[in-house]
Amino acid sequence: MTAAVTDTAGKPGSKGFSIRAIMREAGIGLALIGLIIVFSLASEHFLTANNITNILTQITINLILAVGMTFVILIGGIDLSVGSVLALAAVVAGKAISMPGLGPAEAIALAVLAAMVAGTLCGILNGVVSAWWGLPSFIITLGMLNIARGAALQISDARTIYSFPVEFNNFGSLTVWGLPVVFLVALGLALVAWLVLSRTVFGRLIYGLGNSEEAVRLAGHSVFWLKVAAFTICGFTAGIAAIIYMARLNIASPIAGSGFELNAIAAVIIGGTSLSGGRGSVLGTLLGAFIIGVLANGLILLGLSDFMRQMITGVVIIVAVILDHYRAKLTKG
Amino acid sequence: MDSSAVKIAPQSPVENASSQVSSLLVVKDIRKSFGGVKALRGVTFDLRPGEVHALVGENGAGKSTLIKILSGSFPADSGEIRLENAAYAPAGPRDAKAKGLQVVHQEFNLLPHLSVAENISFEALPRNRFGFLDKTRMNARARQALDAIGLSDVDVKSPVKDLGIAHRQLVEIARALQSESRILILDEPTATLTDRETERLFDIVRSIQAKGVAVVFVSHHLNEVFEICDRVTVLRSGETIITEDIADTSPDRVVAHMVGRRLAAEMAQKVDHDHIGDSALRLDCLQVPQSPHSDGVSFDLHYGEILGIAGLVGAGRTEILRTIFGLQKPVSGQMLREGAVTEITGPDKAISAGIGFVTEDRKDEGLILDMSIAANSSLAALDQVSSNGFLLGGRERNLAEELGAGLNLKCGTVKDAASSLSGGNQQKVVLAKWLARQPKVLLLDEPTRGVDVGAKAEIYAILREQAAKGVALLVVSSELPELITLCDRILVLADHKIQGELHHTEFSEEKILRLAYRREEEGTEE
Amino acid sequence: MKFTKFVTAAAVSLMMAAGGASADEKKPVVGLVMKSLANEFFKDMLEGAKEHEAKRGDYVLKAVGMKNESDIESQINAVENFITQGVDAIVIAPADSRAMVPPLKRAMEAGITVINFDVSLDPKAKEQNGVELAFVGPDNRGGAKLAGEALAAKLGKGAKVVILEGNPGADNALQRKLGFEDAIKEGGLELLDSRTAHWETEEANTVATNMLTAHPDIQGIMAANDSMAIGVVKALESAGKAGEIQVVGFDNIPAVGPMLKDGRLLATVDQFGRDMAANAIDQALEVVKGAPEPQGWVKTPIELVTGN
């Protein structure tokens, strides 16, 4: 209902950003800058090239998951299964990569493919089941959370899979001009998602679906396939995140990723995307992921206790949503 | 003209209203802005005990804002409100109610899954001495409240969702009336009612008026205003234009005050009925799922024709449109498009068969309110404004601007959100969405609901123009004057059966109503 | 009192045998209650117990695992189900050292032999509930101390270290942290920071990276399990400090084998999880057969594992 909404949702076709769109993201951006300033003053280590590289690496997985989650939340859904799907995709890829008789390049290619396929299939399943029967995605993906986790444990026999080709591991810690390659992958993914959401017919309909499912249906568009597509994208990103996870840690653990879904949802919501759908942007999600990552990093540098850290993170999530509420009101009319 | 009106109605000059002892409520020069938008720019009026006072004005004139201030949703920025000579500034809706001011809103505030009785008592559920809900007392209280307004045919135990829209409206009124109220504000109470139900409502209004309650009646229907009200206050662009006695004015004058220009002539524009062509759509014994009749309904819709469907709420009018558009599957029968049997299994099929559908529910089904006018206009024609799946912003804007210009759409830019528009302009955007596809057949369900007088005339003109271009239009409406003005032919529906067909030469409200009530009168004696 | 308990137990098993169906039921039934089977450690333990059952062949094993480490609810339910089924012995690795005391007391009152292994029940809670129960299990604190000592020996006095803890509130996490702290005190090390990474590799990777930034002079890292140690090793590799900073872990999971071999991981501790449940079952069966109940803490073997 806000004018700001129009900027992100209604006029994606227009070239560049309008002032209001910038204003909208500016709130989150300012919060991020505020955090950065506080941490820079409080810790000499914070604003160093090394630490910046670290932060970028650390937010990568959450950013990838959050980009996929943005699609699902924009249509008014939720995907609680991404953490477990990540584990399943990692284990499947881990099995693939350790298949005997493969050269390193083949093994890596197979693993990447396996993780993407596993993630995508889980996403399709989430989408088809919830859209076909019109069931709340909260419940369906909660089911998938357990199915994928169980499958990951079953396939791996609850054991961590390790010993991947050296090349794969190298990719995990590769940097270009100080920027981690894995982060660049995430950034590229975010850019593509932003293009899709703001410049394509599909993106327009995703926003439309979150605002008014009936209006989209009556205009002759298939609501079913749109929903399936959103969940499929989310599953696909979980698969990509699994690959990054493996490359970074050089293991595939069936218990990987527990709780990742909540971090991804938090990034999306802090980024100003409405939980009821139809409103938000990938740019916001990017900033949201940064806020979570910077907070986690900075609070450790400050030497705050684990429990204080947890509390502060909780407070920041709530404050971000309250701020968003006011921003929505301010830009009204 | 305004000054003469004041002279004609000397007992209600707004200037010295506050000094009148007889006034129950006095509103003086209140103003309200939201952000940069001035919603109220000086509203003044007074309310006397036992009067029915109409509040009229086009959408956006400030009626809703005024009501929200009176009912305590938010305070005015400046100005004075006095209730029985004491300053009145409700802290919130609850406080307003405690002070005796009740509002029956346009949008229902009923809880659909709770019973009628629970809804009526919801604000003060009776408890027995153990603190449990006292159902007997609750039901008795509800019964009494419903009987008081003559709703003896409603079971207080049935859930609200099982009631028709009209009955929900009346339950809402019953709820408002059960507490001691001195002022009752009815916000568009007849928008969803049929004429018979409206009459019933008016009886209720007259009876509470007799008890000394002041009723504020907000309506777009001037005939109702002239039937039930004692005085009328006209708002335009957030300002009071005039307060007049009904006895001293005329509908034309009120409309003139509302729109600031004369529209009556435009409304009654002569219609040319000689442009009717071949059959565009034919229903052959099409039985909708809700219909009990296996022979369904059959009729022909021709190119260039505006065919109206009249009937009471629940007669099955909307269901026919939804079935044609593929939103529900017919039980039996078939549909012929240009003489060829066509099976339409979904909106996409309907659209590719050249059919468009302007639904009754503009806010949830017709528009994506948060999106821009341009995005809404192109929603059904995205292929025209994209290439390889990528949107072409410029082309989309051009399309929206072109369509908007053709429909005389009043908006800032096509980038503004559809929610920023008045009801009439929103409806034009819905029309634009379908006209973008250049439909051959256009289905319209209540095309002017919640639209003000000025925009109504414009929408009529648009529809006539489409018919003249050869489009076949099928219009469902609860407003008989609308169908009579607009249509070449009217089908009257009752209980999912066509009771009769009227040619434009034989149109009259009386004839339509007689057909609409036919079955009901056959079945029951009243 | 102990005698009465035994008689009751015998009576219950007799009744069961009398009302029971087949001859096979004469074999004592042992209910094994474990923690999360999603954890390799317990998974191994379960397999060890199954092998043990097959090898001995004179008892019936009924094993139950939990969804996750802190699923106290399911453990209580499992114990109650075993009471209802009238098993002869319950062998349990408690998810919570306090919450599990009352249900186990009920089991003992029903004449079931209870053996507590892996994590010790809280002595205070036992006292409050009037329960006397021995603990068969490894010395987590002692084990962590072994690892810590290995690190201290390698780094020398005054070296700066940090700890990665397990789940806050988990008893073994606490014991291991205490063990590390014991080694730090005795070895004269300096503790810069101590934080949880919830037993998880990815989180340990992040936390360790950030600790390295906050304290660039870290010389050694103690991780309360090997999953976290793996994350730490990867963090060091990314920071280009592999080999410079020494890491120790705990549990000796297969994945750390290569790291031990090439020195990226200095040492870990093996508590022979595979045998742990089997040992506890042996204890239980002896008590069921009439041997006196074990007293106090029956320590199971632990061993420091290094690359060489």
pLDDT (tens digit per residue) in B46-103: 999 989 999 988 766 788 889 989 988 888 999 999 998 888 988 888 888 888 888 8
- Band (pLDDT 50/70/90 cuts) for residue A333 is very low
Q: Are B327 and A13 a contacting pair at CB < 8 A? A: no
Query: A–B: how many Cβ contacts below 8 A?
Result: 125
How does pLDDT run across C145-202, given as a tens digit for each residue? 999 999 999 999 999 999 999 988 778 899 999 999 999 999 999 999 999 999 899 9
Task: Quote the distance between the C-alpha of residue B347 and its chain's center.
Answer: 25
pLDDT interval class at B319 (50, 70, 90): very high
- Give C241 to chain A, closest Cα distance, Å: 13
- Residue written as token pair 């992100």: A8
| Closest Cα in chain A, distance from residue B40 (Å) | 14
C23 pLDDT more than 60: no
The answer on pLDDT for B160 being more than 60 is yes
Tens-place pLDDT, residues B240-267: 989 999 999 888 788 778 766 544 445 5
Q: Sketch out chain B's domains with CATH numbers.
A: 112-178 (no CATH), 279-523 (3.40.50.300)
Query: B172: closest CA among B126, B102, B101, B108?
Result: B108
Q: How many CB pairs under 8 A join A and C?
A: 92
Across the interface, of A159, A250, A297, the residue whose CB is closest to C210 is A297
Interface with chain C: mutation pick from A62, A65, A98, A258, highest number of C CBs within 10 Å: A258
Q: What angle do CA B517, B518, B519 make, to 5 degrees?
A: 100
Q: Which range, of A74-88, A115-129, B26-40, B361-375, averages the lowest pLDDT? A: B26-40
Banded model confidence at residue A2, pLDDT cuts 50, 70, 90: very low
* pLDDT tens digits, B182-207: 899 988 877 667 777 788 888 888 88
- List CB contacts (< 8 A) between A303 and chain C: 193, 214
Q: Mean pLDDT, to the nearest integer, of B494-505?
A: 89
Return the axis-axis angle of helices A306-330 and A19-42, rounded to nearest 10°: 160
Task: Yes or no: say if A140 and A244 are a contact pair by the CB < 8 Å rule.
Answer: no
Min Cα distance B371 → chain A (Å) is: 4
**According to the model, what pLDDT value does residue C1 have?**
45
Q: Which residues of C touch A257 (CB under 8 A)?
A: 202
Q: How far is A209 from A214, CA to CA, in rounded Å?
A: 8
Of the given ranges (A278-292, C10-24, C76-90), which has the lowest mean pLDDT?
C10-24
Q: What is the band of B364 on the pLDDT scale with cuts at 50, 70, 90? A: confident
Radius of gyration of chain B (CA): 24
Q: Which chains touch C (3 or more CB pairs under 8 A)?
A: A
Q: Taking a C-beta distance cutoff of 8 angstroms, is the pair B395, B384 a contact?
A: yes
**Whether residue A7 has pLDDT greater than 70:** no
Position B521 pLDDT exceeds 70: no
Selected for mutation to probe chain C from A48, A51, A54, A155 (highest C CB count within 10 Å) is: A54
| CATH class as words, domain C2-137+274-296 | alpha beta
Mean pLDDT of A134-152: 95
- Sign of the torsion angle spanned by Cα atoms B10, B15, B19, B23: positive
Q: Which one of A218, A224, A281, A326 would you mutate to disrupt binding with B, by most B Cβ within 10 Å of its Cβ?
A: A218
Q: Where are the alpha helices (DSSP H) in chain A?
A: 3-5, 19-42, 49-74, 82-97, 104-132, 137-156, 166-173, 181-199, 201-211, 213-218, 223-249, 260-270, 282-301, 306-330
Interval C68-76 mean pLDDT: 79
Confidence of residue C300 (pLDDT cuts 50, 70, 90): confident
Give dist(CA B17, CA C148) in Å, integer: 90
Residue found by looking up tokens 């975010």 in the block: A190
**What are A200-215's pLDDT values in tens digits?**
999 999 999 999 999 9
pLDDT at C5 over 70: no
Task: Give me the amino acid identity at A134.
Answer: G
Joined tokens for residue B158: 């049935």
Highest mean pLDDT, choosing among B41-55, B140-154, B218-232 = B41-55
The answer for residues whose C-beta is within 8 angstroms of residue A306's C-beta and 6 or more apart is C168, C195, C196
Residues contacting B438, CB < 8 A, separation 6+:
none
Predicted local confidence at residue B412, as pLDDT: 81
- Contact between chains at B368 and A201 (C-beta distance less than 8 A): no
Across the interface, whether the CB atoms of A10 and B397 are under 8 A apart is answered no
Flag whether pLDDT at A80 surpasses 90.
yes
CA distance A162 to C140: 26
Q: Residue B282: helix, strand or coil by DSSP?
A: strand
Residues of chain B neighbouring A6 (CB-CB closer than 8 A):
370-372, 415-417
Q: What is the rounded distance in angstroms from the CA atom of residue C67 to the CA atom of residue C75?
A: 10
Q: How confident is the model at residue B349 (pLDDT cuts 50, 70, 90)?
A: very high
Say whether residue C154 is in contact with chain A using an 8 A CB cutoff: no
Kindly state the greatest CA–CA separation across chain C.
70
Show the domain range for A76.
Answer: 3-330
Res C14: pLDDT: 41
Nearest to A296 among C206, C211, C258 (CB): C206
pLDDT at residue A164, rounded to an integer: 87
Give the CA distances from residue B414 to residues A1, B94, B381, B424, in Å, rounded to whole numbers and listed in that order.
16, 40, 16, 16
With beta carbons less than 8 A apart as the criterion, state whether A115 and A93 touch. yes
Q: Tell whether C209 is within 8 A of chain A (Cβ).
A: yes
Mean pLDDT of the residues in chain B = 83
Mean pLDDT of A120-128: 98
| pLDDT confidence tier of residue B524, bands split at 50, 70 and 90 | very low
Q: What is the rounded CA–CA span in Å between residue B189 and residue B139? A: 25
Per-residue CA distances from B167 to B174, B401, B519 (Å): 10, 42, 20
Q: List A residues 78-117 in contact with C (Cβ-Cβ < 8 A).
A: none
The answer, for A153 touching chain C at a CB cutoff of 8 Å, is yes
Q: Tokens 């560049």 label which residue? A: A16
Among candidates A248, A254, A300 on the partner chain, residue whose Cβ is nearest the Cβ of C38: A254
Q: Which of A43, A50, A249 sits opposite C202 (nearest CB)?
A: A249
Tell me the residues of chain C between 234 and 263 that have a Cβ less than 8 Å away from chain A.
234, 237-239, 253-255, 258
The residue with tokens 């994606």 is A12
Distance CA A10, CA A197 (A): 11
In the prediction, which pLDDT does C307 show? Answer: 83
Give residue limits of the domains in chain C: 2-137+274-296, 140-270
pLDDT in tens, A220-256: 999 999 999 999 999 999 999 999 999 988 899 998 9
Q: How would residue C10 be classed by pLDDT, with cut points 50, 70 and 90?
A: very low
Cβ–Cβ below 8 Å for A13 and B348: no
Identity of the residue in C193, C205, C239 whose CB atom sits nearest the CB atom of A249? C205
**Smallest Cα distance from C166 to chain A, Å:** 12
Domains C2-137+274-296 and C140-270 are alike in CATH topology: yes
Scan for tokens 């993780």, then name that residue.
A115
Nearest CA in chain A to C216: A45
Q: A251–C254: do the CB atoms touch at under 8 Å?
A: no
CA distance C44 to chain A (A): 9
| CB proximity under 8 Å: B 304-323 to A | none
Average of per-residue pLDDT across B127-155: 81
Which pLDDT score, from 0 to 100, does residue B12 have? 42
**B 366-385 → A contacts, CB under 8 A:** 366-372, 374-375, 379-380, 382-383, 385
Chains C and A touch (3+ CB pairs under 8 A): yes
Query: What is the tally of structural domains in chain A?
Result: 1
CA of A18 vs chain B CAs: smallest distance (Å)? 11
pLDDT of residue B158: 86
Question: Looking at the predicted structure, is the pLDDT value of residue A263 above 90?
Answer: yes
Contacts of C201 in chain A (CB under 8 A): 160, 249, 251, 253, 256
| Choices 3.40.30.10, 3.60.20.10, 3.40.50.2300, 3.40.50.300: CATH for C140-270 | 3.40.50.2300
Instruction: Quote the pLDDT of residue C104.
Output: 92
Check residue B157 and report its DSSP letter. T
Q: Residue B354: pLDDT above 90?
A: yes
pLDDT at position B107: 61
pLDDT tens for C204-242 read 999 999 999 999 999 999 999 999 999 999 999 988 898
Q: Where are the alpha helices (DSSP H) in C33-139?
A: 40-56, 72-85, 101-109, 123-128
Nearest-by-CA chain B residue for A330: B35
Q: CA A195 to CA B180: how far, in whole Å?
A: 59
